[in-house]
Structure 1
Amino acid sequence: MALPAAAQETFPSKPITLVVPFAAGGGTDVIARLLAESVGQKLGQNVVVENRAGAGGIIANKAVIAAPADGHTILIGTAGTQAAGPAFNPNSGFNPLLDLAPVARLGSTPNLLVVHPEVPAKSIPELVALAKHKPKSLSFASSGQGTVSHLSALLFGTMAKIEMTHVPYRGAGPANNDLVAGQVQAMFDVPITLLPLVKAEKLRVLAVTTKSRFGALPDVPALREVGFPDYESELWIGIFAPRATPEAVVKRISAAFLEVLDQNEVGERMKQFGFERAAGDGKALHETLSSDHERWRRLMRETGVKPE
């Protein structure tokens, strides 16, 4: 019993590395940098952001899994890197439920289902009817195979019993560009990238993917309201540490992040990125991860879709 107490007393003894599984400048990276300085002040050490992009988060995950389990190397993961990706590709080389310790859930944002303005559908029933009338005539973009963007569309198509053509891109930016240009007709993606395009009337939003409506778009229905009562998909973010990190250290890191999230200026910035406060400790993050991972694994079994 002395180990956790001793670990807590000596932690942190040096700067903490917060590993981001994406390139600098993306939404997750911006949030990591927003939180790093304040969390560092809470813990009494600098928190240094390190970008380890590539392979859908596998590189970053493996780097943190291999790091010393002392709390000085942690990961900011998402529903995509920790749940959707590993469920889509079971040969990723790590198990998000076994190889990492969940530390804190930071927030969540819905996906928006948008279409190009020339698509003759102004509601979900109309979109489903259009897709059924002309199978595979509608193409949907995604930010890559196995991403939440991809699996959200796959789940929708499965529930609606429609066939759409998947066009994967290397990131949301190129996908959004082709969607606006009319090269593809539909997409599921997060508000931070889509809201400006919706407000500029370059895209039409038909629904949100969470259980309830999204605060920034109160007039847009959730898919659950328009014929899909069991539909749920969200992009959450959370903090993870190597599996053997002492519980006392995990709790201290968790407390620091949750305290920072309670700061008004941080909360407002998170809202600007489309994230609504859905914070929680390691147990809450584990429950979210477990539920999400099983949802996407079940979808993979039902559809038989595999990585190409």
Structure 2
Amino acid sequence: MNEYVLATSQLSKEYKNVMAIHKVSVRIKKGSIYGFIGQNGAGKSTLIRLITGLAYPTTGTFELFGENNKRNIIEARKRIGSMIEGPALYPQMTAAENLEAHRLLKGIPGKNCIEETLKLVDLQDTRKKKAKDFSLGMKQRLGIAIALLGDPEFLILDEPINGLDPMGVVQIRELLKKLNQEYGITILISSHILSELHLLATHYGIIHKGELLEQLSAKELHDKCQQYLHIKTDDPNKTASVIENQLLTNEFEVWPDGTIKLYAHVHEPRRVSQILTNEDLIIEEFMPMGENLETYFSKRIGGVQHG
């Protein structure tokens, strides 16, 4: 079985002499939640449109479920569910009627899936209420329900939490976690809301001005953003010994230039400095360091702040 549900290779798309994405090589592992991060206009939607067949690449190739032949990719797309640029709803129809209309369009046999899908997204009690009267969060959940028709293995969502109130965001987050953890659905979710993706994604891709800057796992991101005390004294070896024997930790690193990164006691800088001073060590540099999620991504794309 192929490890990746999606693998692109040097994928580019040009519109009227403007390069929307340039040589993008993305890898999305089966079973992951892939947070695709970038500002509006960075190229997130363009890549999604290429994957789902709504646009065609200028150069480059991609594999879907291990298939790279054009005919096989068309067949493989039947295993995808997507919501792009907002949910495609019939405003005068109820939730059940919307699902029924899309079921017929997709040629999915049997009506049993309608009620099951409504329950999955917690819209089973909307009854005769029309979609035009739904809250934004309900509309987003209905859009996801439509994407789930046909039991897709790979769910692609373009900015599904944009504009939602805090409760709506939580509902979408919990739904996506359930789909991933209980149903085994691989999810690609594009967003510029970093704080929310941080609570959801297992892997990340950072895109800026059409170029993929970095891909990393949640653990790799955690390691890069880890907080620590930066310490430099006149005697690195003695400092290391004091940290081990008096602070009772080995969670530190001694670098070739003599600086020490202390990952324990980060929230006790006064106590740490006092212990070092009491041992007659001369402190040359001492400061808390590390980055939070927003700072890290901001630096990667050149200082742009995110909401």
Report the TM range for the smaller structure's normalisation: under 0.3
Q: TM-score, normalised by structure 1?
A: 0.24
Higher relative contact order (CA 8 A, sep 6+): 1
Q: Which has the higher helix share?
A: 1
